[in-house]
Every structure is written in C-alpha cells, then in structure tokens.
Structure 1
Amino acid sequence: MKTSQADILILPGLKGPDDDLWLTRWERKLPTAQIVGQPDWHAPNASEWSARLGGAVAQATRPVILVAHGIGCHVVAHAVKAGIDLGPVAGAYLVAAPDPQAADAAPAHRAFGAPALTPLPFAAALIAARNDPHCSPERARAFARAWGAEFVDAGESGAIDSAAGFGPWPEGLMRFAGFLKTIPSVQ
C-alpha cells in the first residue's frame, strides 16, 4: 500500500501535537494524513479519545492507516476492546506506548487506565526503545504480543519524541514505508 491509497490518521500522545515532533511533520508532509483532535491533550480519557478515533475512522474515504505515539497507542487498543467500528482500518503503526501501570507512570498515563490487551484485528507494528522512560522493553514486548503486533526494537531512542531528538525521524518514516508495503492495496 502507498500513502496515497490510505487515509492516515495520526494519534498523538499526552500533550498533543508538538510542532517539532515527527508525527506533526508527517502530517504536513503526507497529503492524506491528519491528526485526530482530542478535547484535552493533558487529560487523556480512554472513552472520549477512542470515540474521537471512531469518528475520524467513520469519515475516512479510503482504507485507514493509524499512526499513534505514546498514549495514542493505547487509544487504538481501547477502541478495539470497546467495540468501536474500526472496519476501514488496515494497519496501525504504534510508537513508544507508555506503561500506565508502571510504578513511576505519569499521573495522566495512570489516569488513562489499564492497558487494553485485546488482539488488534489489523496489521500492526509496535516500535519501542530499550531506554524509554515511560515503558520497559519487557512491557513493550508484552503489549506487542497481546496486540498481535510486530515488535520493532528502536535501540536507545528514549520516548521517540522531540525531547529525545526525534524531530524529523527519517528512519521512522522509512520503517513506516516498509510497514505499508506489508499491507495489501485495495483496488
């Protein structure tokens, strides 16, 4: 699949889109991409954010590819568990999922609730760093197994955010292109 064949819905994490972050840059660079807005970027709510995702998917005119960062990864899993219609979704590219149940989890991550560990009914890849301050590599691998996602080790990349130096993230865009190649095109 090519980016031009899909509606790319981007789900930022806590604090929302950051002008320097790779996902905001991707939205500007990829003509079929758009960020799914949320009512309060500082207080993620699983039900509200999942409903917003469902509404954005319902507006899609092509197969949907989800690109999620941070708590946005959990929004995808919660939407599946809640039974929200994500029928047009062909794949999910998940980056740096935090562990809301970690002892040192950010209060907003903890308030989001327990992770939904439901298999995703579409192709998925979870990219995670060995030194992510919000999730241990073991927990990230457990999320990938539960979701049926391919696990991609991003090395020593922190939270894969702008604070960790991931503004443009060309390697991530190349990995995304590789992920898209695994998804059959719809004629």
Structure 2
Amino acid sequence: MAHYLDLPPHKLAGDPLILIVPGINNSNPRHWQSRWERQREDCARVDLGMWDDPHRNTWVNKLNLAISRAERPVVLVAHSLGCLAVAWWAEYEQPSQGNPVVSALLVAPPDVDRPGTDPRLARFGACPRSPLPFPSFLVASDDDHYCQLRTARMLANDWGSRFVFAGTVGHINAESGLGDWTFGQELLGRLLREHRVEQDRLAPPLLRDAARQSRLAATP
C-alpha cells in the first residue's frame, strides 16, 4: 500500500473528489449513493469488487488505490460495510491529518462484532476503534437491523465522528425510500463548506483573496 506519512499537511490542493464507497452487493440504481453519483460531476464510485463476498484487505487495497489515483483532496461517502473499509483504511495507512482524505460521511455502519452477525460482516471485525484522522459525520437510524442505535453512538465516539440521528429509516438504503436523501446532501454540503473554510484559513493571504474573488465572480 502507498503511505501518506511523508506528505506535509495540506499538500493536496484543489476541489475535493467525492468517492462513493458502497457496502455489500454494491448500491443499486435506486440507492441514494447511485443517485448522487449520477447527479454530481465531482463524484465517483470506488469499484471494490467481490460485492457479494467481500474480502477486507482487498476492499482496503482498492479503496487505497482509488484515493491515491484521485491526486486531489478526497471526501469519502460510505454506506454500511463501506464504512468499515474506510475505518480499516485509516487503521492500516495512518494518513496524516487532512491528507489525502479531508472528511467523510459514514452512513449506517453495521455492528461487525455482534455475535451471530452475517459472516461476511464478521470478516471486518474486530472493528477498529481508533479516532479517524479527518472530520466525519456518522449517521444512524433507530431501527437499523444491522446495528443498534446505542452501538452506533459508541462507534461515533470512538472514531471521533459527529453523531447524526437520521430517524426511523431502516438501514438508510434503497429500501428506506429516501430518494435523493436531501438530509444526507445537507451533511455532505456542510463537510465541503468546512473544507473550504479550512483551506482559506491555511492559504497565504494573496491566494486566499484570489480564491474568494473567484468564488464571488462565479456566484450568479
């Protein structure tokens, strides 16, 4: 795997690429992840492969390859077991703060350590519990049969994620009937705005002013 420990903070520049990280069986066309991918030009899906029979290290390696090939800041949008691929990527790669992943939206992570869970999920246990080296939201439902709400809250605390309650919407997938999932889009928008603010804070004054003028000129 490639490592990012030798990258100075915020070396990667430019607008972030949004990488969609699905879970088991991929995300079908009705899934909000697929809808976002169709709607956004800054969005791409990670082809993890082995969708119905996932292998942890294979998924992590493929995620790592997609991140490194982006050659720009990355925002991860993961669902279900894809959240565990993200956590294991951070555990293995130990990336520096903000490089190359600047933030993540982690939706409905399953409890891979629960006794009797699907063996395909159990392959991703024991779940990493180290804080993630980038800002993140962890979104959960109170009737998700893959993870109890209190377990999701504890996981958010361990990962250093901001916990977000999504309501009573099952596994927050296509079967949840969320359509384009406007609430999730708002969370993603917040992560992108926070990244822009951080970039402005760190940029030299002349570059910062130029970036602001460019954004103002692009505003209708």
TM-score, normalisation: structure 2: 0.78
What value does the CA root-mean-square deviation take over the aligned residues?
Answer: 1.7
2:81 alignment partner in structure 1 = 71
2 CA distance for matches of 1:80 and 1:61?
17
> Within 5 Å, which residues of 2 pair with 1:122-161?
122-161=134-173
Which deviates more from structure 2 when the two are superposed, residues 23-32 or residues 82-91? 82-91
Are the aligned partners of 2:95 and 2:133 in contact in 1 as well (CA < 8 Å)?
A: no
Aligned with 2:137: secondary structure? strand
Deviation at 1:104, TM superposition (A): 4.4
The residue that corresponds to 2:17 in the other structure is 7
Cα drift, residue 159 of structure 1: 0.3
1:107 counterpart (89, 107, 119) = 119
CA deviations over 1:32-72 (Å, ceiling 9, x no partner): 11110012001222211111111011111321100000000
SS at match of 2:93: coil
Q: Give deviations 1:113-172, integer Å, cap 9, x for gaps.
A: 221111110111101111111000111011111111000011111100011212321221
Higher relative contact order (CA 8 A, sep 6+): 1
Secondary structure of the structure 1 residue equivalent to 2:105: strand
Secondary structure of the residue aligned to 2:115 is: coil
3-state DSSP of counterpart to 1:183: helix
* Displacement after TM superposition at 1:85 (Å): 4.8
- Distance, in Å, in 2 between the alignment partners of 1:143 and 1:180 is 23
Q: Which runs of 5+ in 1 are unaligned?
A: none
Counterpart residue identity of residue 182, structure 2: P
Q: Check conservation: 1:12, 1:71, Cα contact below 8 A.
A: yes
Identical amino acids, percent of aligned pairs: 35
- 2:103 corresponds to which residue? 91
Matched, 1:53 2:63: yes
Aligned to 1:38: 48
Runs of at least 4 residues of structure 1 off by over 3 A?
A: 184-187
In structure 2, the gaps of 5 or more residues are: 1-13, 204-220
Offset of residue 99 of structure 1: 0.4
Q: Normalising by the residue count of structure 1, what TM-score does the alignment of the two structures yield? A: 0.91
| Contact 1:123-1:183 at 8 Å conserved across structures | no
Contact kept in structure 1, 2:21 and 2:46, CA below 8 Å: yes
The reply to whether residue 26 of structure 1 matches residue 36 of structure 2 is: yes
Q: Distance in 2 between matches of 1:85 and 1:151?
A: 22
The structure whose Rg is larger is: 2
Native 8 Å contact 2:144 2:171 kept in 1: yes
